[in-house]
Structure 1
Amino acid sequence: MHVAMLDMGNRKYGDCTYCEIDGKRILIDGAHKGDEACSTRMPASLPDQLKELTGNDAPYDFDLIVITHCHSDHIGCIPELVAGGTIRAKWALLADARMGFGVPLEEEFPCRPTTPLERVTAALQEETLPDSATTEEVRALIDTAATLQERYAKLLTDLEDCGTVVVQYGRDPHYRLEKAFEGCGFKILGPEVDQLLLCADRIERERRKKLVLPDAVTDQGDEVEIYRFLAKRLLPDGGLEDGATGAALNNQSIVLRIGTGPRAVLLTGDMQFAAPGIGGLRQRMVALRNSVSNAGPYAFVRLSHHGAANGTDNAFLDAVHETSRFGISTGAGDPGHPSEKVLKLLSDRSSQIEWARTDRNGLVSLRLDSEDPRFEIARGELSDAGVDKIKPASSKAPAKRPRHRRVPPTPQPSPGASRLAGLPRLTFVTHEARLKARIGGAADQSFDLIRASGHQLVDLVTDMTPFDVARLASGSAGVVILGGYSVIPALSVDTLPPRIRRQIENARHADPDNYVVWSDDPYGDLAGRGAPDLPVSRIPDGGCGAGFLNALAAVAKKDKPAFGLRNFRRPFADNIFADIAPGGVMHQSEPTLSGHVLPEEIDARYVYLMLHGLSEDARFFWGETMEADDSYGSLVPALSLSDIPSATNAIVFSGCCHGALITDTLAAEWDSEEITDRLSSASLATAFVHAGARAFVGATGLHYSPPLPPYATAAGPLHRKFWGNILNGQPPAAALKQAKVDYILDMSDEGATLSPAEYKTWRQFTCLGLGW
């Protein structure tokens, strides 16, 4: 058994692995487009390295070629090598074309992007170039990404024309392939088809979201400027590493075992074993890791995703604990890979293992048939734990002792400062660098506005606990968080007390969120009781500076009526709306659908929404068709982004499931990976806030409605208490905080025990917007 990781040159990322076992040759992935020839960025071309490994001149005959997933640094130059006859194959195991690019059956494939925004959207699925990248480098990336589907489709055709048996993983049966290579210990370990489909859906949704970006994007000029604009705002922490589309592509990677016993090799593609980055994958990833462990032991493991922290953690290393040799494939032009965290994990085990990395060692070979297998490297030293200190411009604050920096007041008044000056003294909390990365100069404008109004502004320049923030704000009327979860994280909170948790054997079946929700309440919790002592609100940035400033300057107007819209199966909301708008009529859906109500009607003083919500799509709230037999009907869109007024001062309260969820990641699915905030163009809640709403109050998880009169269970009492506090003159953030206090006291009156749904209700409602 001979396994080799090819040199990826001076580029970012990249993967190409050569295996030869029992006379059969296998090539896994194809580096980068252009690597079929020598260049300054690729001094040794792939054909040159294959000649060194095989001892032959082209053409190079393989029994099997594999493309693990549809990132360009894995498809690489294989299309060109096949088209030119440089490599030939009997079999090809390829990532499914439609699932890999997120193209549904009803759409044409391949689809070549034509508009600048379409071409840039394709590029954002790939590596994110640094600010220092030249115009020519950005154009080259966009051109490569924009033609990737066409090149992949042509590869499929060229292989079939050459007589190669092509298996698209997840679409075609692969038992004949495994049978043909069973003597080599070849086995596909995953992922399962449901994981492929879930990721394909996410790729498609992310692509569509970018294609409906606001005019501020397309106003940037040509595609290079659009790319630079979006790379800073949508992907502040790096596209391939942390973007939702990148994670979905990575998690489609075909994971392979080749060989058995002392010759077994594990090849992992870019699978994000440690932090999937996509909701709904955590348990699937645990199952895949178990499959990997059960198929071992391994003599050699090529670590996933170029040594990224989301690919490797202690749990993964424990699953392959008998392995003594590891490999990392990436280019020397990639300062972020391998991750410092992964190198530290390897170093901690250095007495039992050794590793090679192509960025420092070049071409790496390992012959497992010899009596004393040893790495053969082209340069450098083995087990090199060195880290390039140049980091992408994102990043988390350094791990020093907790401290903060109070932003000094400035004497110059800012425009519109009088809108904030009339409020009680508040503590505004943000991470300046992260917020600036999201919304640019609008962040500085907001800081000036806050300073001029005499409020406290705290820049969390290092990690602090929410309790630290609450103590800093103890002399204030409340806490206002500036930015989404990627700027200042919410906390993933288990809403159930331990004794209740123990009573529920399988809470996931009882509640899709497992009773775990996102909450900002800890930022106002002075006593550590799990309940806020100070009102807390959050202004999500949504990647839009103008909308963020609108939200900060929100003011109350008292001369407008109320607006209500409910699912026809939620009659409990009628009595609450009658208190808000005596004599008013609450709309129902069905029959009221999106577009039936003018935005001017929704531009009300109070807006009460009691509809369905879906965690995977925050652009709509849903009604339900009225079935003659009273059975549950189909969902129909009751409220969409187009229905929201362009300017409003409303206080909005939503009883919709996940109505205030401003990220694609559910708290129950979060596993320490980076959070991706939704844009204002993909979230009704953020869109309301950016239109100037004083507050959008809603749930971050599945909502529970009271089923029967007198509607005194589940979330019904909390709705009533909130609106009662609003009608008594309390600002929204304070009204929600007091409603929670009264809710927990009333529901536990005379020793009554709260249900799990009521515990969840108490913890999951949050206030978005200024809230004052």
Structure 2
Amino acid sequence: MKLYLFDMGSKIYGDCLLAVENDRTILIDGAHPGDWKSSGATPSIPEQLGKVLGSPPFNIDLLVVTHCHSDHIGCLPKLVEDETVTFKRALVADESLGFPTDGEDAAMDATTAKVVAAIVEEPQPHLQGAALDEFLADAVKLPDAYAKMLAKLEDDGTKIVRYRGPGAKTRQLEKEFEDFGLKIIGPTAEHLKICRDALMGVKRAARRATDSLRRKDAAVDAGTIYRTLLEGSDRGADAAADELAEFLDRAGRGAALNDQSIVLALGSQAERCLLTGDMQLAVPEVAGLDVPMHQLLEAIEAGGPYRFAKLPHHASYNGFDEIVLDALKATEAFGISTGRGDPNHPDGDVLKLLKQVSDRYHWARTDLNGRIQISFSDAGIAIGADRGQLNDAAPNSADVVPEENPEGAAPAAPPQLPQLAPQRPLPPGAGAGAAGEPPPGGVEKLIRRSTSDIVEVIARIPHAKTKVTITIEVDPAVVEAAPPRVEPRDTPAPQLRQLPSLLMVTHSERLAFNIGKSEAADILAALKGQQVIVDLARERSAYEAIRREARNASFAGVVIIGGYDVVPSERYDTLPPSLRTSIGASAQNDPDNFIVWSDQGYGDLDGDGLADVPVSRIPDGRTARLVQTALRSSPPTPTADRFGLRNFARPFADGIYSALAGQEAMLTSQAISSADVAAQRLSARLIYLMLHGSDTDGSCFWGETQGGMLEAMTVKNVPEQCGAVVFSGCCWGALTVRTRASVYRTGDPVQVVTPEQSIALSFLAAGASAFVGCTGAHYSPIEGDLNYFGAPMHSAFWKHIAAGRKPAEALFQAKIDYIKGMPHGRSKIEEVAIENKILRQFTCLGLGW
């Protein structure tokens, strides 16, 4: 069998693959709508098919349409209409699942219809003018074009299976294509229905947001509305009352369609290939889908091992990560399908991960390598490419404007702990169509596997004026499958600093699973000599155990050791029942529905529903180094007194920063970007950040310019050593999992982030004594006296730090001060709700003492 990944040209995203087995063929997806014709130096899809199959019309045995995004349906409607291609069988995404209505009775006019259709597509932040108009027109026409294509196929005699989950029809199709080794892995019917319902919700939200904008300006066009919804550039001052707030700041608006992708395998055991569409295996970004996605990944792993795998979703962060890599650890080579000029696809972290494991895996990518050919022989797997070199981790370069994000005491009852599904350990380190057809013009690398200690790599260079670079790294111990995880000690067991009497809460077995058995044992052994430990692996109830220990001793605070998958956090409603009833449906205008993650319940030492002592959490981030660093006796010595960086649209932060000891000036995001923030400037004793954050990308904080956004700080700016106290007013700045509390469903697994994926955890790994921030969207004052919403909390925290309190104590006392001042002159019910949220969503990460 031979497999081709076609060149996607200069348009971002896109999939089109062709599998050839003897004289039979399977076509998977159809690239972009306009790819029926060539564009510049990029040949059209018919031209690329012709290089393999000869002259059109192309009679193909099976068509697979993985899901209903335009960069996968692409030019298929045009090719079918013109009879450039014909198909005997078709396995297609069900249009009733991929193009559901929004459930509203009123019909949409042309402008609203364009916006709603476009917003569920993959984001197109760079399009302007005629290119944006073309995209909007293609998006709104796509459902009709797809329906007409299926109707014509049926009229022409194609036998169609609309995919609604595995069943008798899919099993029959697998039997008909046994020569290809076809196996349809998923998703399940329930998985598809969850995505359909989420898609309907996104469409309803987009319609309401569009209507809101058009009420303000009846003449606004579809392109302007689309860019506003994509970028969040028209947020109102009172975000809680703004009809756009429920739509803005959502991650992965195309996720509900991506996660409908048909996942299949082709080839015999010696040629097994995994084809994943845009399935977001790493981060589903659809509420309620964590468990089904976990089960799908297990089914994928069980269907292996694979010789080759196409990385999901154009190698996005939500398609591929360490956990997915671990499930595919026996795979020899990967392929990435995407167009040129999109810096997010492949994702930078995915490229970094691939580079880290390049001694064991090879990969090719259509944005740099053009058309890719995968073929197999007894000697190994061969990867042919039109241009460039394999294993190229260079970014897919282009400028990108990030998505804007919103601004804006004790728990009443013990937390209800989420049920945790088992987590996977991290992996180590984090054909031609016609007989005799030559490789497609570039470099071909043959990777031979041998039971001896010899690895043979053969490069075939085309006889042409071509510059080819081949980099070969050989590990003499490499075998066909990746070795089992053996995690070395990050650092020696910590020498603990002198601490007050603290109650340490952890789950020894889950902690050991995350950071290593010996590392966890060393940490707990060091603590036992100085502190009382509640080990939830040996307790029936966390709260009973905490109260039992509190009866026997006095504690200054509670310290949780481990992430949410070790010691669960509470899904906490920040609104008292009466306020929740009064605000009604308007609560949904808050991106979190006023529900956040909270650890305060662990500070209730006497069971009266009130937090008695401060609570801090040392998240493990899947590395022992983070916990060891938090507990060590000598944190790094800062070289500066203070550092401040704020969004230029948040001047209230200047007054707060001025009260911090030191002479260093507050920086503003309009004048400063991440490229200007030298690591040594962040080696300060006190750090204050007031920027935009994201619930799906904690590795970056953003600022504003006049009419735009810029990257203000990333994990790369955090110095290697930093003994600071950090306070952040960024939205979701202290969120250490991929899922907001408001969309979490009991029973779903939680996916924690690592230091490489989180500014907060990067600071802690560098030695910061605490990172204090929000687990939800933050609200800032922007007019009037500027002493409401987040401002009083910020001021009170720094006041108590200046008075000599430790960070965990300072936050605890700041909340008491905040309660005394509520609602800080605010009178609207939405504003009172915001004040309640501010009170409860700030948390202390790190030891905090």
Question: TM-score normalized by structure 1?
Answer: 0.57
Consecutive unaligned residues of structure 1, counting only runs of 5 or more, are: 445-458, 474-478, 495-507, 542-546, 556-604, 608-647, 653-687, 699-732, 737-762, 767-772
Q: Assess if the C-alpha contact under 8 Å between 1:2 and 1:369 holds in 2.
A: no
3-state SS of paired residue (1:94): strand
**Corresponding residue number in structure 1 for 2:731:** 484
Map of 1:206-355 to 2, 5 A cutoff?
Answer: 206-213=202-209, 215-216=212-213, 219=217, 221-233=220-232, 243-355=251-363
Q: Given the superposition, is the C-alpha separation of residues 179 and 54 from structure 1 closer, same or farther in structure 2, using an over 3 Å criterion?
A: same
Given the superposition, is the C-alpha separation of residues 338 and 513 from structure 1 closer, same or farther in structure 2, using an over 3 Å criterion?
closer
Which position in structure 1 is the counterpart of 2:152? 158
Moved more, 330-339 or 86-95: 330-339
Distance 1:78 1:232 in 2: 31
CA distance in 1, matches of 2:90, 2:50: 21
> Mind listing any 5+ residue stretches in structure 2 that lack a counterpart?
236-246, 406-637, 661-686, 695-699, 753-759, 790-820, 844-849
Q: How does 1:582-661 map to 2 (within 5 A)?
A: 649-650=826-827
Q: Offset at 1:334?
A: 2.5
Residues 464/102 of structure 1: CA separation in 2 closer, same or farther (3 Å cut) = farther
Distance 1:285 1:425, change over 3 A: same
Change over 3 Å in CA distance of 1:149–1:215 after alignment to 2: same
Distance 1:63 1:536, change over 3 A: closer
Equivalent position of 1:116 in the other structure? 111
RMSD: 5.0
Are 1:43 and 2:303 matched, yes or no? no
Deviation at 1:48, TM superposition (A): 0.7
Match of 2:644 among 399, 403, 406: 406
* Aligned mates of 2:771, 2:383 — CA distance in 1: 56
Residue of structure 2 aligned with 1:136, choices 123, 130, 137: 130
1:599 match: none
Q: Once the two structures are superposed, what CA deviation does each residue of 1:384-432 show, in whole Å capped at 9, x if it has no partner? A: 22224434222899xxx9997426999xxx9999x9999x979984216
CA distance in 1, matches of 2:24, 2:195: 32
- 1:149 matched to 2:157: no
Query: Does the 8 Å CA contact 1:336/1:390 hold for their aligned counterparts?
Result: no
Contact 2:774 2:842 in 1 (8 A): no
Q: Which amino acid aligns with 2:81?
A: A
Question: By how many angstroms is 1:300 displaced?
Answer: 1.4
**Alpha-carbon distance in structure 2 between the residues aligned to 1:283 and 1:535:** 26
- CA gap of 1:202–1:374, structure 2 versus 1, over 3 A, is same
Contact 1:36 1:81 in 2 (8 A): yes
Distance 2:200 2:316 in 1: 24
Q: In the superposition, relative to structure 1, how do residues 489 and 101 fare at CA in structure 2: closer, same or farther (>3 Å)?
A: farther
The C-alpha deviation readout for 1:515-550, integer Å capped at 9, x for no partner, is: 99xxxx99xx9x999999x99997448xxxxx9658
Alpha-carbon distance in structure 2 between the residues aligned to 1:289 and 1:357: 23
Closer/same/farther in 2, CA of residues 327 and 464 from structure 1, 3 Å limit: closer
- Counterpart residue number, 1:72: 70
In 1, distance between residues paired with 2:159 and 2:647?
70
% identity of equivalent residues: 32
- Check conservation: 1:202, 1:245, Cα contact below 8 A: no
Q: Tell me if structure 2 keeps the 8 A contact 1:28–1:68.
A: yes
Q: Contact (CA 8 Å) 1:122, 1:145: kept in 2 or not?
A: yes
Whether 1:92 and 2:90 are equivalent positions in the alignment is yes
Contact 2:735 2:774 in 1 (8 A): no
CA contact (8 A) 1:323 1:353 kept: yes
Q: Aligned letter for 1:93?
A: L
Q: CA deviation at 1:228?
A: 2.5
Aligned residues: 517
The question of whether the paired residues in 1 share the 8 Å contact of 2:70 and 2:142 is answered with yes
- TM-score using structure 2 length: 0.52
> Could you tell me which residue of structure 2 aligns to residue 126 of structure 1?
121
Cα distance change of structure 1 residues 443 and 78 upon mapping to structure 2, 3 Å threshold:
closer
Quick one: distance in 2 between partners of 1:537 and 1:552? 21
**Could you say if the C-alpha distance between residues 128 and 59 of structure 1 is closer, same or farther in structure 2, counting changes exceeding 3 Å?**
same
Question: Which moved further from structure 2: 212-221 or 141-150?
Answer: 212-221
Q: How many angstroms apart in 2 are the aligned matches of 1:367 and 1:408?
A: 53
Kindly indicate whether the alpha-carbon contact (under 8 Å) linking 1:232 and 1:438 is maintained by their aligned counterparts in 2.
Answer: no
Structure 1 position 370, deviation (Å):
6.4
3-state SS of paired residue (1:212)? helix
Decide whether the 8 Å contact of 1:242 with 1:277 is kept in 2: no
CA contact under 8 A between 1:191 and 1:253: conserved in structure 2?
A: yes
Partner Cα separation in structure 2 for residue 437 and residue 73 of structure 1: 29
The Cα shift of 1:292 comes to 1.0
Q: How does 1:473-552 map to 2 (within 5 A)?
A: 481=729, 484-485=731-732, 488-491=733-736, 539-540=778-779
Q: Which residue of 1 aligns with 2:5?
A: 5
CA distance in 2, matches of 1:82, 1:402: 67
Is the 8 Å Cα contact of residues 240 and 246 (structure 1) preserved in structure 2?
no
Report the Cα offset of residue 10 of structure 1: 1.5
Distance 2:223 2:397 in 1: 27
2:161 corresponding residue in structure 1: 167
Give the deviation of 1:76 after TM superposition.
0.5
Residues 20-59 of structure 1 mapped to structure 2, 5 A cutoff: 20-40=20-40, 43-55=42-54, 57-59=55-57
1:143 is displaced (CA, Å) by 0.8
Following the alignment from structure 2 to structure 1, what is the Cα–Cα distance between the partners of residues 646 and 180? 68
Distance (whole Å) between structure 1 residues aligned to residue 157 and residue 343 of structure 2: 41
Q: Deviation digits for residues 30-60 of structure 1, max 9, x if unmatched?
A: 00001111223x63011111111113x1111
Q: Secondary structure, in 3 states, of the residue corresponding to 1:227?
A: helix
Change (3 A) 1:14 1:113: farther
Q: Which residue of 2 aligns with 1:723?
A: none
SS in structure 1 opposite 2:318?
Answer: coil
User: For residues 460 and 326 of structure 1, do their structure 2 counterparts lie closer, same or farther at Cα, with a shift above 3 Å needed?
Assistant: closer
- What's the CA shift for 1:193? 1.2
SS in 2 for 1:383: coil
- What one-letter code is carried by the residue in structure 2 that aligns with 1:125? V
Provide, for residues 586-609 of structure 1, a one-character-per-residue CA deviation record: whole Å limited to 9, x for no partner.
Answer: xxxxxxxxxxxxxxxxxxx999xx
1:211 is paired with a residue whose SS is helix
SS in 2 for 1:34: helix
How big is the shift at 1:163?
1.0
- CA distance in 2 between counterparts of 1:554 and 1:489 reads 21
